[in-house]
Amino acid sequence: MKELLRVENLNAGYGDMQVLWDVSLEVKEGEIVALVGSNGAGKTTFFRAITGLIKPYSGKVIYQGKEITGTPAEKTVSLGISMAPEGRHLFAGMTVEENLLMGAFHRKDRDQIKKDLEWVYRIFPVLKERKKQLAGDMSGGEQQMCAIGRALMANPKLLLIDELSLGLAPVIVDVLINVVKDIRDMGKTVLIVEQDVQVALEIADRGYVIETGRITHHGEARKLLEMEEIKEAYLGI
Ligand SMILES: Nc1ncnc2c1ncn2[C@@H]1O[C@H](COP(=O)(O)OP(=O)(O)O)[C@@H](O)[C@H]1O
Ligand SMILES: [Mg+2]
């Protein structure tokens, strides 16, 4: 499989407060990769650093073979990296369809945007039913679907999802897990960040475990789930 994203020895943080320490991670085309770790471990900061929302101190971000370290967010989205952010960040006073179309704001291919909107509605039929409703009036699970749909409207090669399952009921999480797998089967590559190690490693082909800003383990998701120290630290077994 071809490499899509490679992060090498990334150091990043906020002013004097360093959060990420020599983080390296790789995503190949067509994979689902999960970055898992507890609240405050640095997962969102990692996404901010690769999408250009913050500038890393050092290290490299290589996407499709080209270095994009420090490239601002409006550029990285045009390059094909889009994110469903933690907490969804929908425009609560706008309709579902308006929110979805916001994801395509940088695109000019009108006909393809229409097709992609229909595609998102096929993936999430409930969004089609609710397209005229205000996003703020929907349930948490529907809002998460809308946030993922909006990210897909950017026509990404690499879809980033920050906390897929946080705050959602298990039945909804199961639906989302299947949808993310479908999205991958339709040709997208997915990198997710998750606090729930069980969910993350169920969905992912490979995983990385991050503890206070450092990668401590990585490998096939199935193998990580079987490791004693991961069971003890994250699964309460
Ligand atoms: N905007 C910010 N300014 C300063 N510190 C921040 C900011 N955002 C997050 N942090 C700190 O960075 C650390 C990692 O946070 P974060 O990346 O959000 O972790 P996670 O997503 O894994 O829960 C935490 O100690 C958090 O308090
Ligand atoms: Mg976070």
Q: What CATH number does residue 205 fall under? A: 3.40.50.300
pLDDT in tens, 118-169: 999 999 999 999 999 999 999 999 999 999 999 999 999 999 999 999 999 9
What is the position in ligand 1's atom list of the atom closest to the CA of 163? 21
Q: Which ligand is nearest to the CA of 164?
A: 2
The verdict on 64 and 117 lying in the same domain is no
Q: Is 195 in the pocket of ligand 1 (CB under 6 A)?
A: no
Q: Is 16 in the pocket of ligand 1 (CB under 6 A)?
A: no
Decide which of 123, 155, 187 is a domain's last residue.
155
Mutation to probe ligand 1, out of 10, 11, 14, 234 (largest number of atoms < 8 A from CB)? 14
Q: Is 212 in the pocket of ligand 1 (CB under 6 A)?
A: no
Name the residue range of residue 108's domain. Answer: 90-155
Q: Could you list the pLDDT tens digit for every one of the 237 residues in the chain?
A: 899 999 999 999 999 999 999 999 999 999 999 999 999 999 999 999 999 999 999 999 999 999 999 999 999 999 999 999 998 899 999 999 999 999 999 999 999 999 999 999 999 999 999 999 999 999 999 999 999 999 999 999 999 999 999 999 999 999 999 999 999 999 999 999 999 999 999 899 999 999 999 999 999 999 998 898 888 888 776
Q: How many independent structural domains does the chain possess?
A: 2
Decide which of 155, 184, 201 is a domain's last residue.
155
Q: What angle do CA 42, 47, 48 make, to 5 degrees?
A: 95
The verdict on 195 and 206 lying in the same domain is yes
The verdict on 188 and 202 lying in the same domain is yes
- Whether residue 85 lies inside any domain: the answer is no
Decide which of 133, 155, 177 is a domain's last residue.
155
The verdict on 99 and 37 lying in the same domain is no
The verdict on 168 and 68 lying in the same domain is yes
Mutation to probe ligand 1, out of 10, 45, 214 (largest number of atoms < 8 A from CB)? 45
